[in-house]
Copies of this chain bind each other. A is one copy, B any other.
Amino acid sequence: MKTSPTTDLSRLCVHTATTKPWKIEEAAKNYARTGVSGISVWQDSLEGRNAGKTGRMLRECGLKIVSYVRGGFFPATEAGDRLKAIGDNRKMIDEAAELGAPLLVLVCGAVPGQSLELSRRQIEDGLAAVLPHAEKSDILLGIEPLHPMYADSRSAINTLKQANDTAERFESRHLGVVIDVYHLWWDPDLQEQIARCGQNGNLLAFHICDWKTPTEDFLLDRGLMGEGCIDIKQIRRWVESAGFHGFHEVEIFSQRYWEMDQKIFLDQIVEAYSRHV
């Protein structure tokens, strides 16, 4: 079935890391000009800025602040480093509140050579330590399962099932999961696990991009929607069937796109969104 490209950009959000060469002020102005409705703010784009003032600037541009990215990284071999991570996460919860972002995205962390079981326990300890602060601040925490190719050093939580299991153990309205098609598209249990987090009220965010063939870099070669093998429309149907009607957040890390004129890239994002999401 051939469908016309959508012209509805009311749920299109872009992560500041997607247009990394831009300062957040430039990003905001250009997102708004192009019709993008939401912005997810990476911590480095706040550097040297006041979070509250930046939040006001973004809202004055007409943008909705969707999420603050990214906390987590709880595991460490030294207890002092694990405590530091907890402190960093509390600080990010405060920054999210000042900014006016309802959600802090968590990349949970892993330590090369430390067993995944131990890293998972340290992640749960870290979540237990920061969740009360998130609840008090009314900031949602979203566990983002990362692709298994990042299990060595970035996250010991690599499937939506693991993220769901973890979120459910805490039984907190402030802890849920973040679905990123790049990390999860391959999972044979994806549809079932999306339905599960929907049922439990734990589906907090939906990130989109594409998986290129071949992918040439482990971190910085994500594709624009439609450029790869992920059936984003199908996964979108699954998250909507699960009751999610929030933003579609474009999160693309790509050396190739960062080297382009970012205005042209942003136009390509809008075009790709209209056709492939």
Q: Indicate which residue in B115, B116, B148, B153 contacts A214 across the interface (CB closer than 8 Å).
A: B153
- The reply to whether A229 and B159 contact each other, CB–CB distance below 8 Å, is no
Interface string of A212-254 (1 = CB under 8 A from B): 0111101000000000110100000000000000000000000
Q: A112 contacts the other chain (Cβ, under 8 Å)?
A: yes
Compute how far the CA of A221 lies from the CA of B175 in the bound complex, rounded to whole angstroms: 37
A230 CB to closest chain B CB (Å) equals 9
Q: Indicate which residue in B148, B162, B188, B216 contacts A147 across the interface (CB closer than 8 Å).
A: B148
A113 CB to closest chain B CB (Å) equals 5
Compute how far the CA of A57 lies from the CA of B136 in the bound complex, rounded to whole angstroms: 73
Q: A149 contacts the other chain (Cβ, under 8 Å)?
A: yes
Compute how far the CA of A16 lies from the CA of B84 in the bound complex, rounded to whole angstroms: 47
Nearest chain B residue, comparing its CB with the CB of A120: B188
Q: Indicate which residue in B115, B186, B218 contacts A231 across the interface (CB closer than 8 Å).
A: B115
Compute how far the CA of A115 lies from the CA of B159 in the bound complex, rounded to whole angstroms: 19
- The reply to whether B188 and A229 contact each other, CB–CB distance below 8 Å, is no
Name A's interface SS: loop
Compute how far the CA of A161 lies from the CA of B187 in the bound complex, rounded to whole angstroms: 11
Q: A211 contacts the other chain (Cβ, under 8 Å)?
A: yes
List, in ascending order, chain B residues with CB within 8 A of A115's CB. Answer: 231
- The reply to whether B147 and A149 contact each other, CB–CB distance below 8 Å, is yes
Compute how far the CA of A215 lies from the CA of B115 in the bound complex, rounded to whole angstroms: 18
- The reply to whether A211 and B147 contact each other, CB–CB distance below 8 Å, is no
Q: A67 contacts the other chain (Cβ, under 8 Å)?
A: no
Q: A271 contacts the other chain (Cβ, under 8 Å)?
A: no
25 pairs from A and B in contact (CB 8 Å cutoff): A112-B213, A112-B229, A113-B229, A116-B186, A116-B188, A147-B148, A148-B148, A148-B186, A149-B149, A149-B215, A151-B186, A152-B211, A152-B213, A152-B215, A153-B213, A153-B229, A158-B186, A158-B188, A159-B188, A161-B188, A162-B188, A214-B218, A215-B218, A216-B218, A218-B218
